[in-house]
Amino acid sequence: MAPSEAGGQDGAAAPRPGAPELAGTWRLVSFERHAGGAVSYPMGRDPRGYLSYDPAGWMSVQIMRGDRAPLGAGGVAEGTLDELRATLAGYLSYAGTYTVDRAAGTVTHQIDLHLLPDGVGTTLVRRYEVAGDRLVLHTSAPGAPGGGRLTWQRVSLAPRASGG
């Protein structure tokens, strides 16, 4: 079923794809996890990433540690088990469709592709806030303590400088 074909049960209004406030590409600014009053950084203090929502209801996200060590000359084929574990642990990627429930303040990601096989077919509900060119996604349920907080900056349409 295409994302725009989603419908509610028993005549209830269904969450809809393509929320204009989310459509576009976002660059990751920070990724924090809050638990027991402490803050940790699952992808380090300098994570890198992009999140894209298209108006038709498709999405993808790529997040990595900014300090990932390169694999040796042999690459993946000759990497040690420890190198490969660190490479996998320092990257998150998935894609699929999304719907927005503005009344609940949530965006739901229906996962079609995922770096980890167990992630395929799962659903992730994220609380969201948009203020200007900033998007914050919360991984915890409304009112629940802790959880992840991902802050994104909308990517401008200005051309990038070369050489970076």
- Domain annotation for the chain: domains and CATH numbers: 19-154 (2.40.128.280)
For the stretch 38-70, pLDDT in tens is 999 999 999 999 999 999 999 999 999 999 988
- Give the mean pLDDT of 121-129: 95
Local confidence band at 11 (pLDDT 50, 70, 90 cut-offs): very low
Specify the pLDDT at position 6: 39
Is the torsion defined by CA of 76, 82, 85, 90 positive or negative? negative
Contact indicator for 105, 131 with CB cutoff of 8 Å:
no
Mind listing the pLDDT tens digit for each residue in 62-105? 999 999 988 877 888 888 899 999 999 999 999 999 999 999 99
pTM of the model: 0.82
Q: If phi over 0 gives left and psi between -120 and 50 gives alpha, with beta otherwise, what is residue 132?
A: left
pLDDT category of residue 133 using cuts at 50, 70 and 90? very high
Please choose, from the candidates 44, 33, 29, 51, the residue with its C-alpha nearest in 3D space to the C-alpha of residue 107. 51
